[in-house]
Amino acid sequence: MEPSATTGMDKPAGKKAPLMGVEEAIALVTADASALGVEQVAVALADGRVLAQDLPARRTQPPADMSAMDGYAVRGADIAQTPARLAVIGESAAGRPFAGAVGPNEAVRIFTGAVVPEGADTVVIQENTSRDGEIITTTAPTAALRNVRKKGCDFTAGTPGLMAGRRLTGRDIMLAAAMDHATLPVARRPRVALLQTGDELVLPGQGTGLDSEIVVSNAFGLAALARRAGADVTDLGLVRDDLAAIRAVVAQALSGAFDLVVSSGGASVGDHDLMGPALRAEGVELFVHKIALRPGKPLMFGSKSGVRVLGLPGNPVSSHVCAMVFLVPLLRALQGDSAPGPVTAPARLAVDVPANDVRRDFMRARMDRHADGTVHVTPCASQDSAMLSVLAAADCLLIRPPFAPAAKAGDPCEIIPFDD
C-alpha cells in the first residue's frame, strides 16, 4: 500500500492532481491484499467461500468399474454376434456386489451403480435382451466395454480436484463432498465495518418528514455487496458531520475488531466533508485520489496497523458503483481469490453512444439477450449519480473506456453484469 513515485498521490493542496486510471486505482487498493487466515468449515456451508489450499481427492471415483445402466454384465467377446445366449449366474446391485467372477458365456444381472464383477467388461442393457429362466439372449448388438464407468474415470485418490484460490460454487462443493471431504479449508471472512456520515441522514422509518432529510441507503447496498463477496459485515450506523463524533466511531472501527473500514459520505473537499480529516486524525495513513471514473469522486484509501480503510463517495449510485469496482475485488483479494475481478463480460451496444471523455464511465444499463445468444445493452436514460430508481432498474454497468470514440448500435462493448 506504499505510494509509488508515479501515481501523483498526495499532491500539495491547490495543485490539480492528475486523474488516476481505474485499473491503477484497483491495483493500489488490492496491492498486498491476501487471505487473512484459514478456517475449516463444513462442506455444506462452503458455498461461496474461497478455498485456501489445493484439495486432493481422498478416494478414487468410481472406486471400481461400475455399471452405468441396468442390464447384464458380460464378457464383450461373448456377445460379438447377435443373438448370443448366456447363463445368468447371479446379481450385482448398488452397494451389494456379486462375489464371484463371470466366465465364458455367463452373465450377471446388474443395476446402475453396481460393481462390474471380475471377468466381465461390458454391460448389455436389459432392453437389448430377452430372458427365459436363467438364460438371456441378446436381441441387438452391444460394443465391447460399453456401459461401464472405469475405476477412477472421475478422479483418483491423491490427485488435486480443486485448487486454492477458487471461489466455491454449489457444483464445487458436490465434488469436494464426493472426494470425501467433510470440512474444507477456506479463507476466513474479512470483517468489515460500515459507517455513513451526513447531518441530513435519517434511518428508514425514523425521519420527521423534513424536506432537508435524506433517508440513508448506502450501507444497505454496501452490506449486500460485501456479504456476497464473502465478508462479515457490521453496520456502525450513522455519524453526524462532526469531527469528534466521526473520530470516535473511526477509533472504534480501528480498534482491531475489523479488517476493513468502509465509509460513505464526507469524502469531498466541502466544509462538512470530515471523513478524511477524521481518518488522518486517528492515525490512518491515507491517500486521496481523484479517479478517472464516473460516477465517482475522490476515493480515499489507507490503513492503520493492518486495518484497511476505504472511503467511498456519499452519492448513493457512486457509492455502489465504486464498491463494485473497488470494494468487491478488495474483499475477494482478502480471501485469496485468484480472480478478484471486477468480472466483466462482452456484449453489444443496442443503441448509438457518444464519444467518452477522460473518465471510465460505468453507465447503468439494461441487457437484452437475443436469440443468437448475444447480449445487447441499452444505457438508462438518466445517469444521475443520485438516482436509486435507475440503479435498481438496471441489470448491468456498461463500461465506456476513457476517450472511447462514438460507437454505433451493434458495436462490441464490455459490461459488468449485476449478480444480485
**Is 265 a residue that touches Mg ion (CB under 5 A)?**
yes
**Is 276 a residue that touches Mg ion (CB under 5 A)?**
no
Which x/- pattern over 42-81 shows residues binding ligand AMP (rule: CB under 6 A)? ----------------------------------------
Please give the distance of CA 298 from its chain centroid, rounded to a whole number. 27
- In whole angstroms, how far apart are CA 394 and each of 317, 377, 380, 387? 11, 10, 7, 11
* Residue of 315, 362, 367, 416 interacting with ligand AMP (CB under 6 A): 315
* Residue of 117, 165, 221, 265 interacting with ligand AMP (CB under 6 A): 265
Which x/- pattern over 310-349 shows residues binding Mg ion (rule: CB under 5 A)? ----x-----------------------------------
Cα distance between the two ends of the chain? 30
Contact in structure between 57 and 47 (CB atoms under 8 Å): no
* Grid cell for residue 63: 472406486
Contact in structure between 186 and 46 (CB atoms under 8 Å): yes
Part of the chain binding ligand AMP (CB under 6 A), chosen from 94-102, 262-270, 282-290, 400-408: 262-270
**Is 298 a residue that touches ligand AMP (CB under 6 A)?**
no
Number of Cβ atoms within 10 Å of the Cβ of 10? 13
Order of all β-strands in the sheet with 106-110: 122-125, 71-74, 106-110, 85-92, 135-138, 129-132
**Is 198 a residue that touches Mg ion (CB under 5 A)?**
yes
Nearest to 274, CA basis, from 233, 220, 235, 314? 314
**Is 1 a residue that touches ligand AMP (CB under 6 A)?**
no
Contact in structure between 268 and 313 (CB atoms under 8 Å): yes
Tell me which residue has cell 472501527.
253
Which x/- pattern over 200-229 shows residues binding ligand AMP (rule: CB under 6 A)? xx------------x-xxx-----------
* Residue of 190, 311, 314, 329 interacting with ligand AMP (CB under 6 A): 314
* Grid cell for residue 386: 443520485
Helix segments in 201-267, DSSP class H: 218-228, 243-253
**Is 295 a residue that touches ligand AMP (CB under 6 A)?**
no
Query: Which residues are paired to 130 by β-bridges?
Result: 137
Which x/- pattern over 214-253 shows residues binding Mg ion (rule: CB under 5 A)? ----------------------------------------
Query: Looking only at residues 7 through 46 of this chain, which bind Mg ion when binding is defined by CB under 5 A?
Result: none
**Is 313 a residue that touches ligand AMP (CB under 6 A)?**
yes
| Smallest separation, CB 311 to ligand AMP (Å) | 9
Residues that bind ligand AMP (CB under 6 A): 196, 198, 200-201, 214, 216-218, 264-268, 273, 313-316
Residues that bind Mg ion (CB under 5 A): 198, 265-266, 314
